[in-house]
């Protein structure tokens, strides 16, 4: 037997015996074993030919086992406190776990109930209950869970596939047992640090026509220190939440009269959108893109040709029947319209690459449970580009795209990027040669770029490989931003052609590219990255001038005129309220510069400057010196496009 690559001379029959024969330092915090590549419980059987790896609590696999075990303890605690509760499923999440429940007599969990449930979980941990695995026939398992309808439905599904199959269960005590494949920690005392976080609704099996359950979320880590660090991270994330910041800053909201996932932008927020879009539009024109525009509706026949009705019907809004009897759909993507523009006339190799660009609004029917502020919406505006090129141009065009994407994102102050190349999945369409050519072009473009990248084998779209650009934000969260998607299918489905140097008709390659992803989502990411203190060049109000007294209002107005003459967007506040309150409000609204002007400033032609983020006001700053500083720090970023 080998243990972590070392030969163990002694014979052992189980993981428990194995750990008993190893030095205590080697077995500290071991929560499971990997035997011949398969995770098993510490109590599992071993043979002398096995290759064993010790799985410790602070590894990714160990944390997953801890979190899964916490989910079981959560279910046990709920059943202790709420006799007659039905428990459904309790998987792990990226940082924790959840469990879904249906309480008797239409009972409901409230957020205030979590403390009592968590206390009961800690009591179970203190009882040092072992996790004991057992295997049962489907018939025996159905009898065991006869009072638990959700478990019964899971077992019925397994039985339909193979009635002879045996299923595994885990017992903590005689009174609590759960259907589970495992593995689990040896006993509850291994669950050293967890917290219950919140309650939400969840439909059974994600089907809105099935029972609505309640989901309790928790987090768990190997140590209390790790949990505290994560809770601090969550607190910072919540402070930056774009939904809260957007409302505080009067940027946008989601009116119930319009419906979920559809935002309205207020003047200040709409101005930020305008600046984002105009900057991007200008740089696209400088980079050789052609502006186009396509309508929000199209006939069903277009989406039949493109394949959207075949592949994405569930994510599209229902069709509308017009007077002439045709069915029209709100567009789910911009690409079919751009293809029609390409197809509208014969194309020559001399026109390629042809780069079409549009800020196009599309509509996706996202289920209400998946909506999340501006990050997941039903109406979104994409900075969408579709590039048609010859096969020989594909590699260079992808490389050019990567440089352009990163340059635009850096203009918004974002710096920490990496990329991911997703290759051919098991289920795909297209011939091997096309896939190999496209994947190699993407790989060469990434190799020539300055971006670190990884390869996600088999994670590409079914019709072609793609490159995703990820951002790590100010507090370490990773966001997917831009996507560069090679398309081998749409040119074929629409019969796209170009005439080459020998007058042959050839099929172009097509690249889909959304740089922001969507304006809404990029807006949200910027808000959370900067905690609401967006770069000043994006803001409608860059300078707020506050006169100390009414006598100073004339000088405040003159300061505003000087700002405007130098393309600084300034407003003047009245002197009717206490100065301290006016300054605090401007700081909450994260105005880049707050200028305080008094009677002494009039004669000296000076201002008091409160810079965003600075601890103290700086008095007696010459007005022209301030304007020079602000013009430099608030100017739109320069960008050399390729």
- Residues annotated as catalytic (active site), given as ranges: 335, 364, 382, 384, 386, 466, 512
Write out the DSSP string of 481-540: EEEEEEESSHHHHTT--EE-TTS-EEPPEEEEEESSS-HHHHHHHHHHHTTT---GGG-S
SS3 category, 145: coil
d(CA 315, CA 318): 9
> Does residue 386 have a known ligand-binding role?
yes
* Run of H or E residues at 27: helix 24-27
Task: Give just the sign of the alpha carbon dihedral 177, 180, 181, 184.
Answer: negative
Contact 595, 609 (CB under 8 A): yes
> Which among 463, 402, 396 has a CA at the least distance from the CA of 429?
463
512 labelled binding-site residue: yes
* DSSP 8-class letter at 106: G
Q: 462, 427 in Cβ contact below 8 A? A: yes
Q: Considering only CA atoms, which of 488, 490, 447 is closest in space to residue 466?
A: 488
Strands (E), 364-506: 379-389, 417-422, 453-456, 466-472, 478-487, 498-499, 505-506
Q: How far is CA 596 from each of CA 287, 414, 578, 619, rounded to the nearest angstrom?
A: 43, 32, 12, 9
Q: What is the DSSP string of 317-369?
A: PPPEE-TTS-EEEE-S-SHHHHHHHHHTS--BGGG-SEEEEEEEEEE----GG
Core vs surface per residue 563-593: b (16+ CB within 10 A) or e: beeeebbbbbbebeeeeeebbeebeebbbbb
CA angle 411, 522, 235 (to 5 degrees): 105
Nearest-CA neighbor of 387 among 510, 515, 517, 514? 510
Q: Cβ atoms within 10 A of the Cβ of 489, count? A: 18
User: Binding-site residues for Zn(2+), please?
Assistant: 335, 386, 512
User: Binding-site residues, please?
Assistant: 335, 386, 512
């Amino acid at each position: 037997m080998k243990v972590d690559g070392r030969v163990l001379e002694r014979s052992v029959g189980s993981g428990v015996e194995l750990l008993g024969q190893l030095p205590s330092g080697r077995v500290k915090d071991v929560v499971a074993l990997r035997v011949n590549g398969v995770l098993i419980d510490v109590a599992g059987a071993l043979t002398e030919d096995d290759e064993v790896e010790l799985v410790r609590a602070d590894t990714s696999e160990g944390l997953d086992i801890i979190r899964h075990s916490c989910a079981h303890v959560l279910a046990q605690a709920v059943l202790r406190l709420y006799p007659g509760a039905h428990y459904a499923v309790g998987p792990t999440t990226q940082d924790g776990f959840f469990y879904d429940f249906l309480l008797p007599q239409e009972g409901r969990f409230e957020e205030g109930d979590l403390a009592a449930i968590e206390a009961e979980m800690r009591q179970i941990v203190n009882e040092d209950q072992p996790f004991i695995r057992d295997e049962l026939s489907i018939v025996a398992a159905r009898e065991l869970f006869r009072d638990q309808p959700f478990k019964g439905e899971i077992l019925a599904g397994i039985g339909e596939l193979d009635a002879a199959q045996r299923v595994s269960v885990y017992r903590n005590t005689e009174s609590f047992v759960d259907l589970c494949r495992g593995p689990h920690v040896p006993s509850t005392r291994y669950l050293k640090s967890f917290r219950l976080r919140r309650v939400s609704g969840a439909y059974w099996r994600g089907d809105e026509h099935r029972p609505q359950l309640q989901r309790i979320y928790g987090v768990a880590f190997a140590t209390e220190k790790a949990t505290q660090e994560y809770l601090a991270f969550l607190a910072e994330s919540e402070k930056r939440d774009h939904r809260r910041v957007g409302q505080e800053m009067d940027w946008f909201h989601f009116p119930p009269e319009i419906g979920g996932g559809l935002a309205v932008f207020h003047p200040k927020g709409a101005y930020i959108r305008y600046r984002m879009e105009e900057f991007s539009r200008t740089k696209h024109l400088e980079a050789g893109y052609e502006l186009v525009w396509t309508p929000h509706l199209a006939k069903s026949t277009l989406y039949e040709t493109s394949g959207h009705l075949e592949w994405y019907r569930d994510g599209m809004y229902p069709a509308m029947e017009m007077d002439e009897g045709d069915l029209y759909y709100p567009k789910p993507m911009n690409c079919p319209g751009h293809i029609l523009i390409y197809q509208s006339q014969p194309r020559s190799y001399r026109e390629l690459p042809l780069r079409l660009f549009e800020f196009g609004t599309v509509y996706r029917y996202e289920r209400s449970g998946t909506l999340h502020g501006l990050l997941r919406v039903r109406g979104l505006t994409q900075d969408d580009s579709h590039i048609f090129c010859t096969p020989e141009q594909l590699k260079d065009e992808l490389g050019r795209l990567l440089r352009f994407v990163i340059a635009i994102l850096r203009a918004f102050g974002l710096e920490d990027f990496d990329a991911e190349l997703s290759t051919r999945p098991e289920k795909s369409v297209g011939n091997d040669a096309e896939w190999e050519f496209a994947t190699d072009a993407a790989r060469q473009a990434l190799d020539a770029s300055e971006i670190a990248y990884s390869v996600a084998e088999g994670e590409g779209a079914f019709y072609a490989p793609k490159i995703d650009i990820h951002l790590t934000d100010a507090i370490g969260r990773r966001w997917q931003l831009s996507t560069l998607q090679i398309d081998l299918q749409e040119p074929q489905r629409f019969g796209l052609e170009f005439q080459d140097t020998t007058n042959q008709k050839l099929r172009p390659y097509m690249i889909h590219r959304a740089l922001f992803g969507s304006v809404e989502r990029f807006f949200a990411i910027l808000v959370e990255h900067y905690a609401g203190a967006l770069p000043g060049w994006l803001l409608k109000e860059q300078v707020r001038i506050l006169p100390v007294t009414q006598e100073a209002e004339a000088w405040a107005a003159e300061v505003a005129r000087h700002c405007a003459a130098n393309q600084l967007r300034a407003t003047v506040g009245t002197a009717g309220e206490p100065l301290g309150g006016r300054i605090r409000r401007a700081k909450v609204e994260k105005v880049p510069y707050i200028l305080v002007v008094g009677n002494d400033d009039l004669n000296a032609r000076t201002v008091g400057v409160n810079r965003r983020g600075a601890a103290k006001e700086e008095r007696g700053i010459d007005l022209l010196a301030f304007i020079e500083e602000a013009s430099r720090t608030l100017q739109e970023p320069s960008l050399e496009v390729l």
